[in-house]
Amino acid sequence: MKYILMMHAPRGTGDWDIFQWAPQAIEAHVAYWNKLNRELREAGELVSVEALAAPGEAKRVRAGQRGVPLTDGVFPETKEFLAGYWIVEVANAERAYAIAAHASAAPGPEGTPLGMPLEVRQVMGSPASDP
């Protein structure tokens, strides 16, 4: 079963103010992500992992006349933004929750786990296309 684990960042720049952290705290944080991703890859559970650009670079797009894309600034006011995601293929939801909890515990500026909220949702297969 595939699950998407979505990491949300607080409103603002969407970077958890990481650029204000001491260099060694940033290194520890990045090392934590690298280790988690390596472990998931080695276990054969990692399908995809991506970080997303800052919310200020996002655009909302909809179809205008004759399908011409219309863009509308950045996201509307919201409490938090999607910062990145993992897609994992695991045996059950409990394993996806365990991975999300592990990711949530990434160290912050003082080495204390951030406790970031991650949204976990099953990825549903797309309908078969006609030949």
Domain assignment present for residue 128? The answer is: no
Domain assignment present for residue 131? The answer is: no
Can you give the pLDDT at residue 130?
55
Can you give the pLDDT at residue 72?
76
Cα(121)–Cα(15) distance, integer angstroms: 23
- Look up residue 123 and give its two tokens: 């990825």
Domain assignment present for residue 66? The answer is: yes
Domain assignment present for residue 22? The answer is: yes
pTM confidence score: 0.81
CATH number (domain holding residue 74): 3.30.70.1060
The CA-based angle 73-74-79, given to 5 degrees, is 145
60: left (phi over 0), alpha (psi -120 to 50) or beta: beta
Q: How many domains does the chain have?
A: 1
Domain assignment present for residue 129? The answer is: no
Domain that holds residue 61: 2-122
Least confident of 14-18, 28-32, 65-69: 14-18
Domain assignment present for residue 56? The answer is: yes
Higher pLDDT, 43 or 53: 43
Answer for the pair 116, 8: CB distance below 8 angstroms, yes or no: yes
73: left (phi over 0), alpha (psi -120 to 50) or beta: left
DSSP string, 27-75: HHHHHHHHHHHHHHHHTT-EEEEEE---GGG--EEEE-GGG-EEEESSP
Domain assignment present for residue 35? The answer is: yes
Cα(64)–Cα(40) distance, integer angstroms: 42
